[in-house]
Amino acid sequence: MKWKMRLKKLKEFSRAVARNKMALTGSVILGVFILVAIFGPILVPFSTMEFGSVEDMLQPPSSKFLLGTDDMGRDVLANLIHGARVSLLIGAVATMISMVIGTLIGILAGYFGKRVDNLLMRFTDFFLVIPWLPLMMVLAAILGTSLWNIIFVIGITGWAGTARVVRAQTLSVKERQFVERTVSIGAGNLHIMLRHILPNVFPLVFANTVLVAAVAIVSETTLSFLGLGDPTMASWGMMLHYAFEGGATAAGAYWYYLPPGICVVLVVLSFTLLGYAFDEILNPKLRGR
C-alpha cells in the first residue's frame, strides 16, 4: 500500500511540475545541459593536454570550429561540452554533501534542543559568519587543486543555510500530535527522526537542494576562475580563467569567454526556477497564492 501511495504522490507532483511554467522552463534548460554532459563527450572527444597548431590559435567561429578556438588552438565547442560534465558533476556531488550535513545537523538540533541545539547552532553560525569565498579559497589552496578537493571544499562550506531551515521546520514538526503519540508509546529517538521527522522536512530539503546546487556551480566557477580549479579538467570556470589569462577580452575574442559565461548563467537560472517552482508546488500556502 505504501508504494502505491508514493507512486500516486509522485504522479501528482509530476503533473504539478508540468503545469508550472517556471518548473517546465527550468526542467527543459537543465535537461538539455544534462543530455549534453552525458552524450556530448562521447560524440565530441576533447583533451585539455592536446593543443592545436599556431594557425588555429584564437580563430573566430567558422565551419571548421563552430565556436572558434582558444589561445592554445583547442576547439571551444568541444571544451564547452566537456566542461558541462565537470561543472554539473561538481555541482551535484557538492550539493549532496551539503544537504546531508545540513539536514543531519538541522534535525539533531531541532529535535534534541537545549545544549545540543546551542552547540550545533553556534557551530552553524561560525560557517554563516565567515565569508564563504575566502574560506573556500583558503581550503582549496591547502588541500590542492583537484576535482574531488574542490567538491569537498564546496560541500563542507555550503550546508549552514540548510541546517538553519531544517532546524526551524523540525521544531515545528516535533510538536505535532502524531510525534507526541509516537514518543508516548516508547519509540526511540532514531526511529522518530527517520520515520517521522525526516519525511516531513524532506519537501523543504528537496526544494532547498535545487537552490544549493546553483550556488555550488557558481562556487566552482568562481574558484576555477581564480586559478584554484583542476587545470587537467575542462570546466566552464577553467575556460573563463584561461580566457582571462590569455587576454581574450583585450584581443576581442568574444567566442572564448561568452559561451562558458552564458552556460553558467543558464544552468544557474534553471536551478533557480526549479527551486522556486518546487517550493511553490510543495508548500500549500504558496500554492494557494
Mean pLDDT to the nearest integer, 246-264 = 88
What is the CB neighbour count within 10 angstroms for residue 175?
A: 9
- For residue 106, what pLDDT is reported? 93
Domain that holds residue 235: 24-40+66-284
What's the rounded mean pLDDT across residues 228-252? Answer: 86
Percent of the chain with pLDDT over 70: 94
Is the pLDDT at 288 greater than 60, yes or no? no
Task: Quote the pLDDT of residue 262.
Answer: 94
Of the two residues 248 and 187, the one the predictor is more confident about is 248
pLDDT at 6: 62
> What pLDDT score was predicted for residue 57?
83
What is the radius of gyration, based on Cα positions, of the chain?
Answer: 22
How many domains does the chain divide into?
A: 1
Residue 8 lies in a domain: no
Residue 197's CATH number: 1.10.3720.10
Q: pTM (2 decimals)?
A: 0.84
- Among the residue ranges 21-25, 44-48, 216-220, the one predicted with the least confidence is 44-48
* 26 neighbors 277 (Cβ within 8 angstroms): yes
pLDDT for residue 18 = 77
Q: What's CA 280's distance to the chain center, in Å?
A: 19
Does residue 4 lie in a domain region?
no
pLDDT at residue number 231: 83
Between 112 and 285, residue with greater pLDDT: 112
- Which band of pLDDT confidence, cut at 50, 70 and 90, is reported for residue 3? low
pLDDT band at 258 (very low <50, low <70, confident <90, very high): very high
Across the chain, mean pLDDT equals 85
The answer to whether residue 16 sits within a structural domain is no
Confidence of residue 285 (pLDDT cuts 50, 70, 90): low
Give the three-class secondary structure for 69: strand
In a domain, 154, yes or no: yes
Q: Which residue has the higher pLDDT, 259 or 57?
A: 259
Does residue 128 lie in a domain region?
A: yes
- What span, in angstroms and rounded, lies between the C-alpha atoms of 115 and 120? 8
Q: Is residue 47 part of a domain?
A: no
153 falls within a domain: yes
Region 84-89: what's the mean pLDDT? 89
Statement: residue 2 has pLDDT above 60 = no
For residue 226, is it within any domain?
yes
Higher pLDDT, 123 or 182: 123
270, with CB counted inside 10 A (0-12, 13-18, 19+), is buried
pLDDT band, very low/low/confident/very high, at 124 (cuts 50, 70, 90) = very high
What residue type is 90 in one-letter code? I
